[in-house]
Structure 1
Amino acid sequence: MNRALRYATVGVVAVALLAGGGAAAFAAPTHLHSPTPVVATAPAAASLTAKASATTVNAWQEFRIAGVAKGIKAGSKVNVQQKQGAKWVSLPASAPVNTSGAYGVRVKLGIKGVNELRVAADRTVSPVVTVTVR
């Protein structure tokens, strides 16, 4: 530190001590250190919607499941899952999420009867969609 700066600093401290006491000499200006409150926001929870284009189809007849993905990156794949017994099994039907969050998947089912389907992306799943196959 150069000599002129040291003398100026000592002079300011001396004047502050004479004027207002010890605390005023070393206190920082309040306008420099008044913290603004920081509000932390949690990231939006990811969600998927799903709607089948038909509720009843013939075996191996193609239909579509479409919906919207919120909180899921564009380009991420969504997979159709079918409930088989107590397990959810991924079908060979997937599609990417577009930039607006929409997706559409073509599906064909061969298991006759009521089929419970859902769409999954990582750990996020849609509500169940029911399609009956004749």
Structure 2
Amino acid sequence: MNRALRYVTVGAVAVSLLAGGSAAAFAAPQHLHSPSPVVATAPAAASLTAKASTTTVKAWQEFRISGVAKGIKAGSKVTVQQKQGVKWVSLPAQSPVNKSGAYSVRVKLGLKGANQLRIAAGQTVSPVVKVTVR
């Protein structure tokens, strides 16, 4: 085929495609062009519960704080925090969250008197738990 005939053939095919002859075969399905409603869902807010196994202990007597972590990934560490003056201080008592969201931390306190404790995982904290050390 000579060059001029090739150009005419390619030109005719291009014109028919542009005119919509076989353009539908090359077009994307219609559902890709129409917007579908997008429903934005906020992630579940993380929360922690906490309960001490006892409310009164002797100095350095071990007790447990246990609870459930919701919206916190399994394997993440929860840490015990103690209120000292006006600040919350993290204690070296940690425990991982299991697959069902439960945790249990062993704690020993030496600071006599009423102690305010809470569990923390990142910015998420539990309600305050009170334990008195005698």
Common fold by TM > 0.5 = yes
Question: CA shift at 1:87, angstroms?
Answer: 0.8
Determine the C-alpha separation between the residues in 2 that align with 1:39 and 1:80: 38
Determine the C-alpha separation between the residues in 2 that align with 1:32 and 1:91: 54
Identity of aligned residues (%): 75
**Given residue 51 of structure 1, which amino acid in structure 2 is its aligned partner?**
K
Are residues 8 and 41 of structure 1, via their aligned partners in 2, closer, same or farther at CA, if it must alter by over 3 Å?
same
| TM-score normalized by the length of structure 2 | 0.79
Matched residue, 2:94? 94
**Given residue 129 of structure 1, which amino acid in structure 2 is its aligned partner?**
V
Determine the C-alpha separation between the residues in 1 that align with 2:57 and 2:82: 15
Matched residue, 1:59? 59
Determine the C-alpha separation between the residues in 1 that align with 2:52 and 2:87: 21
**Given residue 17 of structure 2, which amino acid in structure 1 is its aligned partner?**
T
Determine the C-alpha separation between the residues in 1 that align with 2:47 and 2:125: 7
Divergent runs of 4+, >6 A = none
How many matched pairs?
A: 120
Q: Aligned-pair RMSD on alpha carbons?
A: 2.3
C-alpha distance after superposition, 1:41-86 (max 9, x if no partner) = 1111111111101011111111100011111111111110100111
Determine the C-alpha separation between the residues in 1 that align with 2:18 and 2:98: 65
Matched residue, 1:114? 114
Structure 2 unaligned runs (5+)? 1-8, 22-27
Determine the C-alpha separation between the residues in 1 that align with 2:49 and 2:104: 11
**Given residue 123 of structure 1, which amino acid in structure 2 is its aligned partner?**
Q
User: Is residue 125 of structure 2 the alignment partner of residue 125 of structure 1?
Assistant: yes
Matched residue, 2:36? 36
Are residues 87 and 30 of structure 1, via their aligned partners in 2, closer, same or farther at CA, if it must alter by over 3 Å?
same
Q: Secondary structure at the match of 1:44?
A: coil
Matched residue, 2:4? none
Are residues 114 and 29 of structure 1, via their aligned partners in 2, closer, same or farther at CA, if it must alter by over 3 Å?
closer
Are residues 32 and 69 of structure 1, via their aligned partners in 2, closer, same or farther at CA, if it must alter by over 3 Å?
closer
**Given residue 105 of structure 1, which amino acid in structure 2 is its aligned partner?**
V
Structure 1 unaligned runs (5+)? 14-27
**Given residue 74 of structure 1, which amino acid in structure 2 is its aligned partner?**
A
**Given residue 16 of structure 2, which amino acid in structure 1 is its aligned partner?**
A
Question: CA shift at 1:12, angstroms?
Answer: 4.2
